A and B are shown apart, each in its own frame.
Chain A
Amino acid sequence: GQQVMQIPQYQHVQEGEDFTTYCNSSTTLSNIQWYKQRPGGHPVFLIQLVKSGEVKKQKRLTFQFGEAKKNSSLHITATQTTDVGTYFCAEISGGSYIPTFGRGTSLIVHP
């Protein structure tokens, strides 16, 4: 599958500030998944978005899937030091079940 573009590559924030990472694809996606990888750790599944315009929340995390199913975002409200890590989106294109990972956004939270 075509790799989805993810920005920014790095983001430094002060604890308590908000954070957003974006994924954009040139093609219409079937689904999009989000994973978090802590430093030295392995990717951990956060959520999967399937429907056009879908918005899902997990505590301080808000996930959105664009109306055209070509983009997605992850927003963290009031970051904490426990949010540190790399957040990957993974696209699933039509007819496939294999996710293709974006480059990831590394979040650094300064206390």
Chain B
Amino acid sequence: AQSVAQPEDQVNVAEGNPLTVKCTYSVSGNPYLFWYVQYPNRGLQFLLKYITGDNLVKGSYGFEAEFNKSQTSFHLKKPSALVSDSALYFCAVTLSGYSTLTFGKGTMLLVSP
């Protein structure tokens, strides 16, 4: 069985500071990893994915994530946070790109002005 852990319910950061949202995963095999963002009353929006290759993946809105196989982690990062980044962030894993996703419980990111 595959699982995702997002250890922080909430992350608080000041605008302009770097942010990190943590994610660790457990899967038998090579993972496909995703980050999605959810704004209030809206659906999940795809941010970025890791399939293979370079461990540092760049995505939408200046976000990036680093795949670390030895630590089974896929932390989301951004060098300079914006107030508009405040939202609920979900990490997800699957064993192939064409299969069902297993999500973490989400991390609320709050960026203060």
- The answer to whether A and B interact is no
